[in-house]
Structure 1
């Protein structure tokens, strides 16, 4: 993987999306790597008291988090109800709530954009409503009204980016929705045109993983790069009898600018965001992704490592040497005889495998391209495929093992064999009558015989003359007619 560009424009953490200018224009939001504050409404200044260490996931307020470069808020909302009366919406973590409210969050966002809007006009802040507690029928509608009025009503300094923009590039969002800077994501508000779909949330599933367990989880979730919607990755740990841990050193190591974990992530949820380098690392990753999209250098040509036609399955297997690329291979495309191109994901291994149906006696032409994220194609691998078994060597093959035998009624029998993997081209099965067997060996001519390919699992005879005893032999035969016998 190529290192991210060293040509990083000057930027401030509080206005980094605007400061990067047109660099991000060709990317969509789900292609960016965005820094997110986990449990954004649960900061130490908004909790206080003995439960602060247990519940606080951030050190400071919403304005502070915005100024530090966070562009996604991971939010859990509690309906504050007393004696049947709704007194507002605050934020919670476990059994405790903070003194931060949704109205306060709306005010903080408006204040941020009101002060010198032109220097912040391209900032996008995503409010990811992740959990809801104590909500009664109608409370989601009341929360929806608070937000739509707060961001589009009188006194608001910014507006909501509608759901219609969810698959647009940054350039298109900026041009079509100038003055819109807030994205609200949740599936609890129905099909409202202002609110985006819920954001898929990847979490290890328990609060106290070891560092190694978290490491494995993150590696698993960041292998692929073909997500088409916003998704978030939970990168946090807790400690028994304490609460959220500051794992900034781990974050700085795991999400270095040239790592798969950073490049392949979309939204990275962290605690105590200013203690780590996650924001500048995300900025670096976004510049890398922007360069990758306009790259003109194609991947190297894939080459054949080895191949095998399995006649029994009418299947051709090709192991090919993976292509290389300055930004990494995204996928491969192959076609047979110039037909429809089929996409195959990059398996991220040095040798990769294809398999497809090739019928006996027919010829095909395989065309295989490596493709990078920008769509550049390699020089194709063009390979003729034939549905024929290649000749074996001229040494005598090893005999097959008879692993199963069954008499099926009066006139039939069947047997299974273990393949002779050494030099067998095909098998000959013969049945001898009892009178033609001396000391367990055949001495006369077989009364029945059958031929099976090198891929056969066994044979069945359905035309035995009667219910007498018989001797069955199985010969392994190579391409030169040399045989080995099993009886």
Structure 2
């Protein structure tokens, strides 16, 4: 039995080669570095439902078919080099998985599946204990560890087929706010996020937000992220698998209007399968002209 039928869905959906990265519909993991498989301090264990957003680590998310990663990084001055950077969630900068683990997971996965494409959507960069974020340190780490994988911003309008012909290893989009100490032609502009505007969002409020957003979505062909997440005052992060499957299923017409569908616990949904089908169809239509 194949536990991960969509592990290489971009490779098998040959029709998508005609599309640009901005024309794809991406299955995205919200707060990808905080998952139930990570070892949190004992005092945080009872409160995990308030901050955990995914089921498994980066490599599991990649294997499940996630291709856009919502990242918030903090720099910890107690460490040096890549060890300084970790994911976080929340106002207390709750610590999740490390940047080091993400880089290793990307390299292992892309070595095995060289024609899959990935978006690293950096949402926030913060220091801890009122320290400034170490932009220079992150720049050095990215240039050393990931630069060979990055798709230059100047290639953003090329099709997947063209990108594959240019390079066998450039498969990662890194998008972030610009900063004098964190700047490169390899980096893409920060990705626009459409979210409800409220930390507490019921499924009903979320559906209303998505309806309004998709009535007049951002320009086609550009990367943008739709927050499809729900958070309850008493429940914390909500698992809305059935709602997501229904809202973005083949009958609704919502998913084709999206760029990145940014969801919690995405591995338990059908979003990857829907994105696979939509992108294949979009690519074949474009190829036919």
Question: TM (normalized to structure 1)?
Answer: 0.53
> 2:18 matched to 1:26?
yes
> 2:102 matched to 1:110?
no
What SS does the aligned partner of 1:220 have? helix
> 2:230 matched to 1:237?
yes
Cα gap change, 1:140 to 1:83, in 2 (>3 Å): closer
Cα contact 2:173–2:188 (8 A) shared by 1: yes
Higher helix share: 2
Deviations 1:381-438 (A, max 9, x none): xxxxxxxxxxxxxxxxxxxxxxxxxxxxxxxxxxxxxxxxxxxxxxxxxxxxxxxxxx
Shift of 1:248: 0.4
> 2:266 matched to 1:270?
no
Bigger Cα displacement from structure 2, 201-210 vs 285-294: 285-294
Cα gap change, 1:176 to 1:42, in 2 (>3 Å): same
Give ranges in structure 2 of 5+ residues lacking alignment.
none
State the distance in 2 between where 1:17 and 1:83 align: 37
Cα gap change, 1:61 to 1:193, in 2 (>3 Å): same
Look up the match of 1:221: 213
Look up the match of 2:152: 162
Higher strand share: 1
Cα contact 1:160–1:184 (8 A) shared by 2: yes
After superposing on structure 2, the runs of 4+ consecutive aligned residues of structure 1 that deviate more than 6 Å are: 83-86
What SS does the aligned partner of 2:276 have? helix
> 2:66 matched to 1:70?
yes
What SS does the aligned partner of 1:233 have? strand
Bigger Cα displacement from structure 2, 79-88 vs 122-131: 79-88
> 2:137 matched to 1:133?
no
Cα gap change, 1:85 to 1:174, in 2 (>3 Å): closer
Look up the match of 2:89: 93
Cα contact 1:160–1:181 (8 A) shared by 2: yes
Q: How large is the RMSD of aligned CA atoms in angstroms?
A: 2.4
* Correspondences of 1:385-396 after superposition (within 5 Å): none
> 2:272 matched to 1:282?
no
State the distance in 2 between where 1:106 and 1:180 align: 14
Structure with greater contact order relative to length (CA < 8 Å, sep ≥ 6): 2
Larger Rg: 1
* Correspondences of 1:285-304 after superposition (within 5 Å): 285-294=278-287
Deviations 1:342-383 (A, max 9, x none): xxxxxxxxxxxxxxxxxxxxxxxxxxxxxxxx5xxxxxxxxx
State the distance in 2 between where 1:243 and 1:275 align: 18
Shift of 1:47: 4.5
